[in-house]
Amino acid sequence: MYEELYEPLPDVDAYLKRIGFTGTPKVNLTTLEQLIYLHQTAIPFEDIDVHCRKVPITLAIRELFDKIILGGRGGYCFELNCLFYSLLQALGFTVTPCICKVLEGEGPHFIASHRGTIVHLNADCYYCDVGFGGPVPPGPLKFENSTLQTIGPNRYQFIKCDNSWWELVRINSKIEPVSMLLVNTEPFDPVDYLSMNMICSDHNSRHHNRFTDHLVLNIRTADGHASIEDDVFTLRIGEKTIRETIDDARAHKLCRDVFCISADLSSIRLIP
């Protein structure tokens, strides 16, 4: 039972081609940095199947591969980080899935509703995420208490909360700390994410997630990131932000031209 969650990646080369990785991947930090950045710029975070199509979200490796790698789609965190975990495994990295809490809205209580990946490399551990979008680190972030870490133009730090929880903080352009995630370093099993995935994609659980009621797309660009939330397209270029109210036709064009979705979405209405 659940064997489909543990199947090996069908085609490593096809995955690497999809994200634009060239050369020979090695089990080192440089390759890991390249894989994460390329993934974030080639495969979008998107919840079209959850919000628009209202279909169950599978975490079976073969079906995720067909949808995202062969089908030219994106996905949300449980899909993207699940498939990326399989890629890292296939390349020889030592990896464990982890659960996270997204720190948005009013606290103090937050449900675990996000999946990330921890890579163990040369006696160090790194948080890796290709399924969050926006200001998520564009590379691996070392679990090192309170150390300011710079990745490109972005600065982050981890703050240790207790034995297993770490707070991921982004330092914004105003030199202010912005709490993003609570990351749990205890290893989880792929089957453990089935219930979380269901809560985040089931329209009967809409009070516990943002995806059933909102169209959300996000992708990293060369100098920032682009997003769609409902009928608003936002493009961030460095410190500059451009916003545009869009209709369904414009949303479909942006999916092709900005969000790297090559799949035919013509039968899907993205914006009512």
**Active-site residue set:** 77, 114, 129
How far apart CA 264 and CA 272 sit, in angstroms, is 18
Q: Are 159 and 145 in contact (CB under 8 A)?
A: yes
Cβ neighbours of residue 33 under 8 Å, at least 6 residues apart?
139, 140
- Residues 183-222, buried b or exposed e (16+ Cβ, 10 A)? bbbeebebeebeebbebbbbeeeeeebbbbeebbbbbbee
Separation of CA 52 from chain center: 19
Angstrom CA distances, 246 to 31, 50, 252, 254, stand at 38, 20, 10, 10
**Cβ contacts of 154-161, under 8 Å, gap ≥ 24:** 158/127, 158/183
- Alpha carbons 156 and 183: distance in angstroms, whole number: 14
Residues 132, 77 contacting (CB under 8 angstroms):
yes
Cα–Cα nearest to 147, from 166, 129, 172: 166
3-class DSSP assignment, residue 234: strand
